[in-house]
Amino acid sequence: MERFFNMDNKFFAFMGRVGDLMILNILWLVCSLPLVTMGASTAALYYATLKMARNEDSYPARMFLHSLRQNLRQGICLTLIFFALGAILFVDIQVCLSMASQIGQLLTAVFFLLTCLFAMTLSYAFPVLAQFENSLKAILKNSLLMSICHLPYTVAVLALDLVPILLFFLSPYYFFLSIPAWLLAGFALIAWINAKLFVKVFKRYIPQEENEDGLNEDL
């Protein structure tokens, strides 16, 4: 009985982790509401979950807010860049699909490839912002290079990121049933699982004597 009520018990550790993810999920949702702050909020979520994945966490909410303040400007800039690039790619693909010719098919294939590279870069950009200090240009470049160099991890991260979208298109009924779970802890849970993958990727770029910084302007 004493072991059950021990705060180091696996049950209490598990419930503590669930509670941390719920708090982070709510913070991420609230701080993402203006939309332009979604990137900074995502970077803050990854800052906290990367700490959790390394078992360096103490106060996840405090870490989230610290990162949000620190990366707000760059996070907003990255969000606007990705919104603009995403809109351009969407329009270009729609135009190419409307072209009933071989050129249209070729251009569609080209823009589809660019969309894949866009998604790969996007999946890394905010975790990179959370982990390293870099210029916007370096963040984008390093995110693309890392996503290509660590393709198996990238595929896994993208698959997790796309879970709610795929669920919506494959089964809208179950998607709407799962909304409470997503609002409660779902997004933070995906970030935490992704963080475990990013820890393995990032450790190759972090000098052992450093914990937070260590990625130069270029890989």
pLDDT tens, position by position, 128-145? 999 999 999 999 999 999
Q: Tokens in use for 141?
A: 């470049």
* Across 24-53, average pLDDT: 96
pLDDT band (50, 70, 90) for residue 212 = very low
pLDDT band (50, 70, 90) for residue 219 = low
pLDDT per residue over 191-207, tens digit each? 999 999 999 999 999 87
* Across 55-76, average pLDDT: 92
Judged against a pLDDT cut of 90, whether residue 102 lies above it is answered with no
Cβ–Cβ under 8 Å, residues 174 and 167: yes
Percent of the chain with pLDDT over 90: 70
Percent of the chain with pLDDT over 70: 90
Q: Which of 100-104, 129-133, 173-177 has the lowest mean pLDDT?
A: 100-104
Judged against a pLDDT cut of 90, whether residue 20 lies above it is answered with yes
Q: What is the dihedral of CA 147, 151, 152, 155, to 10 degrees?
A: 70
* Across 45-51, average pLDDT: 96
pLDDT for the residue numbered 215: 47
pTM of the model: 0.88
Judged against a pLDDT cut of 60, whether residue 7 lies above it is answered with no
d(CA 142, CA 137): 9
Average pLDDT, the chain: 89
Judged against a pLDDT cut of 60, whether residue 209 lies above it is answered with no
d(CA 109, CA 115): 10
* Across 66-88, average pLDDT: 96
d(CA 199, CA 204): 9
